[in-house]
Structure 1
Amino acid sequence: MTTYPDVRAGQRLTAELWRSGLPNIVEKTIDESIVSSLTLQDDDDLFIALAANAKYRVEFEISAFSPAAAQFKTAWSVPSGASGLKYCYGPVGTDRDSSLMRASVHQLTTTVSYGTESASLASAIRETAIVTTVSAGTLRLQWAQNVSNAGATGLSAGSRLVVWRTA
């Protein structure tokens, strides 16, 4: 089993070493929305720098809203050469309260669509992965409407990204 950070007997425990084993949490503080756009856009808040030759556990906890007709889609932007599979959970169709749910596995950069119900009620979406990097770079959530619509589609404040370095 790999543990991170690798602390050895007799090693001086510094604040930096201690913090390196804690998760990094990035949270949206305000709602962000778009209208009439199918083009994936980089989220303004949900991103983090990743080191080269490292392994991370990544969790996106998303509160998404859009008119039912627009729905919602996501993808991840990752550092060049990064590998892993993302596990995607959330509503499908147009009813966020339906028992129809997505539980699928995809490549990190694959676009995944979710159902929503209205611009005033959010849908819960969760995407997780173990990401292995080759080069340093930025991990970022991207999102857009799945069907172009004049109604606002976006992420609610409180959506967050949690990242733990594991190796």
Structure 2
Amino acid sequence: MAAYPSLYAGQKLTAALLSSMQPFTVIKAADESVTSSTALQDDNHLIIPLAAASTYTIEGALFYDGVYNAGNLKLTWSLPALATILWSPNAPATGGAAAYASNGTTAGNLTVGTYGTGGTKTTASITATVTTFGTAGNMTLRWAQDASNATATTIYAGSWLRALRIA
């Protein structure tokens, strides 16, 4: 079984090598809202730097709210050139159903339901695998309302993403 990074007998453990083994975690520092807009926008805080020619597992939690069964939350990612992703948000389904949506995708947007405003904070659990090729760059959460609504859809401070390089 391959491991990242590969360690060999007699290898010198450097700070850079040890740092490469650590997960990178980013925590959203402030609430961010979108009102009356379905145009995807980059999140101001949920950004992960990715090295070229690498594979990462990503996990996280988005704490969000929006008007019940109306605006909803549309999610996607901005990635380095040629990078691939397989990801899924596990969160309430749209349409006001008391069901959860967990749909993997390799491209495009996924939408999760909103279940109230005023800090009710629904959670979307994020799981992903990202592979970069020749280009390093940032993985940035992009989001908007799925249906334009005058009541804001908000992703709250404390939401987080964690990346662990596995290859």
Deviation at 1:110, TM superposition (A): 1.6
> What SS is found at the alignment partner of 2:103?
strand
Q: How does 1:32-47 map to 2 (within 5 A)?
A: 32-47=32-47
Deviation at 1:60, TM superposition (A): 3.0
Q: Which amino acid aligns with 2:113?
A: G
| TM value normalised by structure 2 | 0.92
2:156 maps to what in 1?
156
Counterpart-to-counterpart distance in 1, 2:98 and 2:150: 27
User: 2:117 pairs with 116, 119, 123, which one?
Assistant: 119
1:142 maps to what in 2?
142
Counterpart-to-counterpart distance in 2, 1:2 and 1:63: 35
1:99 maps to what in 2?
98
Counterpart-to-counterpart distance in 2, 1:116 and 1:84: 25
Q: What is the RMSD of the two structures over their aligned residues, measured on CA atoms?
A: 1.4
Structure 1: 4+ residue segments shifted above 2 A? none
Deviation at 1:94, TM superposition (A): 5.0
2:76 maps to what in 1?
75
Q: Is the 8 A contact 2:94 2:111 kept in 1?
A: no
Q: Which amino acid aligns with 1:102?
A: A
Counterpart-to-counterpart distance in 1, 2:98 and 2:6: 43
Unaligned runs of 5+ residues in structure 2 are none
> What SS is found at the alignment partner of 1:61?
strand
> What SS is found at the alignment partner of 1:37?
coil
Counterpart-to-counterpart distance in 1, 2:88 and 2:28: 21
Counterpart-to-counterpart distance in 1, 2:47 and 2:14: 26
2:25 maps to what in 1?
25
Q: Is the 8 A contact 2:36 2:148 kept in 1?
A: yes
Deviation at 1:93, TM superposition (A): 2.7
Unaligned runs of 5+ residues in structure 1 are none
Q: Is the 8 A contact 1:56 1:166 kept in 2?
A: yes
Deviation at 1:8, TM superposition (A): 1.3
Counterpart-to-counterpart distance in 2, 1:2 and 1:119: 46
Deviation at 1:33, TM superposition (A): 0.8
| TM value normalised by structure 1 | 0.92
